[in-house]
Chains A and B, each alone.
Chain A
Amino acid sequence: MILFDNVSKLYPTQNQAALDSLSLEIEKGEFVFLVGPSGSGKSTFLRLTLREEKPTAGRIRVAGKDLHRLSNWKVPHLRRRIGTVFQDFRLLPNKTVFENIAFALQVIGKPRRQINRDVPAVLELVGLDGKEDRMPDQLSGGEQQRVAVARAFVNRPLILLADEPTGNLDPGTSVGIMKLLDRINRTGTTVVMATHDQSIVDQMRKRVIELEHGKLVRDQSRGVYGYTR
Chain B
Amino acid sequence: MRFQYVLSEIATGLRRNLTMTIALVIVVAISIAMLGAGLLVRSQADTTKGYWYDRIEISVFMCNAFSTGAGCADGAVTDAQRDSIRQTLESHPEVDEVFYENQEQAFQRFSEQFDDSDIGGIITPDQLPESFRVALQDPEEYDGVVSAVSGLPGVQEVTDQRQLLEPLFRTLSGFQLAAFAITVIQIIAAVLLIANTIRLAAFNRRRETGIMRLVGASNFYIQLPFILEAAIAGLLGSLLGIAALFAGVELVVGRFIAPNLQFTTWVDGADVWSATPWLLIAGVAVSMLASFITLRRYLRV
Residues on A facing B (Cβ under 8 Å): 50-51, 72-73, 75-82, 84, 90, 92, 103-104, 106-109, 151-152, 155
Which of chain A's residues have a CB closer than 8 A to the CB of B207?
90, 92
The answer to the question of B150 belonging to the interface, with a C-beta cut-off of 8 Å to chain A, is no
Residues on B facing A (Cβ under 8 Å): 1-2, 5, 207-208, 210-219, 221-222, 301
Decide: B1 and A108 in contact? CB cutoff 8 A. no
Partner of B215, one of A73, A75, A107: A107
Which of chain A's residues have a CB closer than 8 A to the CB of B213?
76, 79
User: Shortest beta-carbon distance, B170 to chain A, in Å?
Assistant: 54
Decide: B211 and A104 in contact? CB cutoff 8 A. yes
Decide: A84 and B214 in contact? CB cutoff 8 A. yes
Partner of B221, one of A72, A75, A107: A107
Decide: A80 and B215 in contact? CB cutoff 8 A. yes
Bound CA span A90–B214, Å: 11
Decide: B216 and A78 in contact? CB cutoff 8 A. yes
Decide: B208 and A92 in contact? CB cutoff 8 A. yes
Given contacts A75-B301, A106-B5, A109-B1, contact A151 B208 (CB under 8 A): no
Decide: A109 and B221 in contact? CB cutoff 8 A. yes
Decide: A108 and B211 in contact? CB cutoff 8 A. no
Of the candidates A51, A82, A108, the one having the most CB atoms from chain B within 10 angstroms of its own CB is: A108
Sample 20 A-B pairs with CB under 8 A, ordered by A number.
A51-B301, A72-B219, A73-B218, A73-B219, A76-B217, A76-B218, A77-B216, A78-B216, A82-B216, A92-B207, A103-B208, A103-B215, A106-B2, A107-B215, A107-B221, A108-B216, A108-B221, A109-B221, A151-B211, A155-B215
Which of chain A's residues have a CB closer than 8 A to the CB of B212?
107
Partner of A151, one of B215, B219, B222: B215
User: Shortest beta-carbon distance, B126 to chain A, in Å?
Assistant: 90
Which of chain B's residues have a CB closer than 8 A to the CB of A108?
215-218, 221
User: Shortest beta-carbon distance, A83 to chain B, in Å?
Assistant: 8
User: Shortest beta-carbon distance, A228 to chain B, in Å?
Assistant: 33
Decide: A92 and B211 in contact? CB cutoff 8 A. yes
CB closest residue in chain A, given B208: A92
Bound CA span A80–B213, Å: 10
Further 20 A-B residue pairs, CB within 8 A, beyond A76-B218, A92-B208, A108-B216: A50-B214, A72-B301, A73-B218, A76-B217, A76-B219, A76-B301, A77-B216, A80-B216, A81-B216, A84-B214, A90-B207, A90-B211, A90-B214, A92-B211, A103-B208, A103-B211, A104-B215, A109-B2, A109-B221, A155-B215
